[in-house]
Chains A and B, each alone.
Chain A
């Protein structure tokens, strides 16, 4: 079975994207490239990267893109989210950040950005920027296992790939359970539930990306440009 490459958090960095594409050209059996959002950001002009994602070069994997937190903020500010504006960005980083974001993306790209989806379901995996709750949900190695289990349950998937925290991590739910007692006007019912074997994987950001093999359930955390250390340990 072919493998997937999962990337996120490029924030307009075409060089990082090219480095990943270059890596993938030399990586065996990767046939699908998922971009889990945050292709834009306020720090640099994003037009070249946006054009490239829409018109891949010959020999490049064609990216399948989701919107991330930054796209959501821009779409809101440009009126694509009902009455909502880029309030979260305004609150956390101020008006200058909102202006910078507007400057960083040519309005001609808005149509493409507005078409991006919230998530993909592939096999028994959910591919999301944040989580099944919201695009801004930041899951990481320190997230409460109860919260992670809830996010997995909402999508009814066994694996959830997330990008919002920018970290590369894996949390496997390996055991446990819970007792539940319900009383209503019909009487009392008792229920015992086990923790399902499920997993949340943080794919990284920028040049840090992940390759996943759905056939063997193996994943590799990589950094573009350091292909010789493909099995490298701990570049967090």
Chain B
């Protein structure tokens, strides 16, 4: 069965409408959302309401968490101090706009969703704020999937869609217990299972180099993954950003499709939240 996974809608109503239309057109009726319904964009209530109305199973994103819990994110959530300042502005604006009912909805979203051996999270199984970048250490990436007891891990948060397969892994160890250097030891080798990480990209704030919204379609039977790009009315959202008084750079960013000089790149960072 083919199912669609979307992430990082970021209060961009036009982009969400276009992506849902694209999914509908293909006759796919199972959709999972990996969070970040709000933040940066101009229509937080409209986006939350559309997700609620369509009853799309959703897990909590970093923005959804912070809007409720307050800004207690570790510095790692923002790739630079400038980005952090702008993020704070958007945070305040979004918190003011959201209805109590919609805030409640975001507050009660689960950290993760699971269907058989498929696991859905926003950032990583450890935290909504941890980035699983496509080039992160392969063993560390596999550890995230294995520790969460999944075969395939769906994540978002990087705004950059990718499919990563980890295979033919093995680790050899020499173990000594209660014995100093040079004492008797035991050698072991473990073979690591094949696992996949599928990043759904971003519907409402793409950063992959062009303005199209991105999401993924996964076919459980065949194992194929399609990364979909969907054009939408970018100008409509950009106008709404400027009219709402949000920092104009968010509109500029949507028109260019990447976060200028602000790609998060610290996968080894130990989040201290």
Check if A and B associate. yes
A residues sitting closer than 8 Å to B (CB atoms) are 82, 118, 132-133, 141, 144-150, 153-156, 167-186, 191, 193, 195, 217-221, 231, 233-236
Q: Shortest CB–CB separation between residue A182 and chain B, in angstroms?
A: 5
Indicate if B28 sits at the interface (CB-CB under 8 A).
Answer: no
Q: How far is the CA of A170 from the CA of B185 in the complex (A)?
A: 9
Residues of A within 8 A of B139 (CB): 146, 149-150, 153, 178, 193, 195
Give the docked Cα–Cα distance between A146 and B172 (Å): 10
Give the contacting residue for B170; candidates A82, A169, A177; CB below 8 A.
A177
B contact residues around A176 at 8 Å (CB): 169-172, 189
**A148 partner residues in chain B, CB cutoff 8 A:** 173
Q: Are A147 and B268 in contact (CB under 8 A)?
A: no
A-B contact count (CB 8 A): 155
In the complex, what residue of chain A is closest to B180 when comparing beta carbons? Answer: A220
Whether B192 and A234, one on each chain, are in contact in the complex, defined by CB atoms closer than 8 angstroms, is no
Interface residues in B, total, Cβ within 8 A: 52
**CB-CB < 8 A to A149: which residues of B?**
139-140, 143, 171
Indicate if B177 sits at the interface (CB-CB under 8 A): yes
Taking a contact as CB atoms under 8 Å apart, the answer to whether B177 and A169 are in contact is: yes
Residues A180 and B178 in contact in the complex (CB < 8 Å), given A145-B173, A147-B143: no
| B96 within 8 Å of A (CB atoms) | no
Residues A220 and B174 in contact, CB atoms below 8 Å apart: no
Q: List 30 A-B contacts (CB under 8 A).
A: A82-B72, A118-B272, A154-B140, A154-B268, A167-B178, A168-B178, A170-B176, A172-B174, A173-B172, A174-B187, A177-B168, A178-B167, A178-B168, A178-B192, A179-B169, A180-B165, A180-B167, A181-B165, A183-B164, A183-B225, A183-B227, A184-B163, A185-B227, A186-B209, A195-B172, A234-B178, A234-B179, A234-B183, A236-B177, A236-B178
Hey, what's the 0/1 contact readout for B127-170 against A, CB within 8 Å counting as 1?
00000001101111111001100000000000011111111111
Report Cα–Cα, A154/B271, bound state, in Å: 10
The docked-state distance in angstroms from the alpha carbon of A168 to that of B183 is 13
What per-residue 1/0 map shows which CB atoms of B194-209 lie under 8 Å from chain A? 0000000000000011
**Assembled-state Cα–Cα distance A132/B173 (Å):** 20
Q: Which residue of B lies closest to A188 (CB)?
A: B163
**Residue in A167, A177, A178 whose Cβ sees the most chain B Cβ within 10 Å:** A178
Please tell me which one of the listed residues B143, B163, B171, B192 contacts residue A182 in the complex, with CB atoms under 8 A apart.
B163
Which residues of chain A come closer than 8 Å to B160, judged between CB atoms?
184
Closest to B146 in A: A146
